[in-house]
Structure 1
Amino acid sequence: MKSFGFKVILVAILLLGTGFFNSSQASAVGPSFQMPFPCGQTWEGQTRTNHNPQNSVDFNRSNDLGDKVVASASGQVVTVRNLGNSSYGKYIVIDHGNGWSTLYAHLNSFSVSSGQSVSQGQKIGTVGGTGNVTGPHLHFEQRYNGSAQKIKFNGSQITYYGAKNYTSKNSCSNEGVTGTVHTESGVSLNIRSGPGTNYGIVGSVADGQTVTISCQKHGETVTGKYGTSDLWNYIGEGYISDTYVYTGSDGQVAPTCN
């Protein structure tokens, strides 16, 4: 019996040494995290060995100041804090249960308050340049029991270490994204058969009308109500320039059309 007991203890020690009982094993199972941006948006994610914490990621894209930041998974907001010009600046922490949380830092503004429940894809703030930064971006962390983990979206780990473009699938659905048409002159906007003014007119949409964007495609560069862009929105009948549609966010907000 003594020999058997010794063997059991020895096996347990060996298993602990190999990490079989390591508490970090639990971190492999967590919420179905998605990117902290609306469906269809593409952002460059940068990871580096000198990042603090090392497993965090910085997200950037052109003219991203004020862009919408959304919850990576459903949960409860536990921190909404402003550290001014130091550290994270304006940041939010969401508790997702079972030891998991996410942190969103350097925000320009808050859209939630501490104690509030949020759903995946819900707006929580906007991209900013607050805190100890050199320019606007989103600093993002996935934490397990307070420790930053290597980040996963759709169950797949992002690239460590370096920069790579990622497209959000957060709250994507067949229903599409809604937007409101605003023309500078108040006249109706032509719907085209393709992403450009050289394509045939297949209909029109009135100024102020709400449309559903099922997908988007790059085409002719157009200057309109909301700046200059080569992005075109497919709204069922055909395409309209994104520069005449207000969705609450700059850039691509729906999946790319085939």
Structure 2
Amino acid sequence: MTVLVTAAIVVPAVPALAAPVFKVPFPCGQVWGGQTRTDHSPLNAIDFNRADDVDDYVYASAPGTVDVVGDQGTSGYGRYVRVNHGSGYTTYYAHLNNWYVSVGMQVGYGTIVGTVGSTGASTGPHLHYEQRLNGSSVRVKFDGVEALYYGSKNYTSSNACEGARTGAGYIDTANSGPQNLYAGPGTTFAVTGSRNDGVYVTIYCQKAGQSISGKWGTSNVWNRIGTNQFVPDVNTYTGYTGFIPSVPRCP
């Protein structure tokens, strides 16, 4: 008698999609109260609050591409932004007062997507934040650690903190348009690029140069944010007026 032996076919498991490293969606070092609730919609969303938070800046919590800038009026999310991070992951930022991004814009840690508000079906100013995988809401993680479910907890942001040893800020122009970058500390130098309003920047050194007027007054201080890339300090929000004590002077 002939016995047929059939070998089992082993199908390798499909690897799990790599999740981005999500950060708390606020500037480096800020502390925000986050609340999760069993009656929240969707269940895994977090509401963020802190005192006097209307118009506080909201950061992208991971690199990605803006694929929705929406306004649901007095219902639902109100003004909101969705960022697509790839591998099926998206984040939602809802009840915003204003947007600082547009569809198709590339964002990263430190990019301002909007400001905290109370638009839509909101009873008070806060940020409604979600992480989704393939369209379904999932439990939120920051720096790889799952948020508290269910209850309230304070979260300290590590978003865009890599510039803390030098200087950190973001482009903040009077007309909310792109800011030209120059090869030196003045508008007579060659234009070497541009940065959108609201984009986070690291300031490596500062230098006195041409005095110009901008969003934050008139000053001759210029910030170097890259090789041969200077931006006027008056169009850069850093929390300081003029020279920053911790930032070296450019040679």
TM > 0.5: yes
Where structure 2 has 5 or more consecutive residues not aligned to the other structure, the ranges are: 171-216, 224-243
Give the stretch that moved more between structures: 169-178 or 121-130: 169-178
Shift of 1:26: 2.7
Aligned to 2:31: 42
Q: 1:167 to 1:65 in 2, by over 3 A?
A: same
| Structure 2 equivalent of residue 74 of structure 1 | 63
Selected match of 1:60 from 34, 49, 66:
49
The within-5 A match list for 1:1-258 is: 26=16, 29-173=18-162, 174-178=165-169, 235-236=245-246
Do the aligned partners of residues 61 and 208 (structure 1) sit closer, same or farther apart at CA in structure 2, a change above 3 Å counting? farther
Q: TM-score, normalised by structure 2?
A: 0.63
Mapped to 1, the partners of 2:99 and 2:246 lie a distance apart of 34
Aligned length: 176
Find the aligned partners of 2:23 and 2:119 in 1 and give their Cα distance: 24
* Cα separation, 2, equivalents of 1:108 and 1:4: 65
Equivalent residues of 1:211, 1:235 under 8 A apart: no
**CA distance in structure 1 between the aligned counterparts of 2:134 and 2:74, rounded to whole angstroms:** 27
Partner of 2:196: none
Compute the displacement of 1:177 (Å).
2.9
Cα 1:105–1:41 shift into 2, 3 Å: same
Contact 1:34 1:169 in 2 (8 A): yes
Over residues 182-238 of structure 1, what are the superposed CA-to-partner deviations in whole Å (9 max), with x where a residue is unaligned? xxxxxxxxxxxxxxxxxxxxxxxxx977799xxxxxxxxxxxxxxxxxxxxx9449x
Distance 2:246 2:44 in 1: 41
Question: How many percent of aligned residue pairs carry the same amino acid?
Answer: 48
Q: What RMSD over aligned residues (CA atoms) do the two structures have, in Å?
A: 3.0
Q: Give unmatched runs, 5+ long, in structure 1.
A: 13-19, 180-206, 213-233, 238-258
Distance 1:71 1:125 in 2: 9
The one-letter code sitting in structure 2 at the alignment partner of 1:121 is: G
Task: Give the structure with the larger helix fraction.
Answer: 1
CA gap 1:4/1:98 in 2 versus in 1, 3 angstroms: same
Structure 1 runs (4+) deviating above 4 angstroms are 1-5, 207-212
SS at structure 1 position matched to 2:16: helix
Question: How far apart in 1 are the matches of 2:154 and 2:44?
Answer: 17
CA distance in 2, matches of 1:160, 1:43: 16
**1:26 and 1:211, CA in 2 relative to 1: closer, same or farther beyond 3 A?**
same
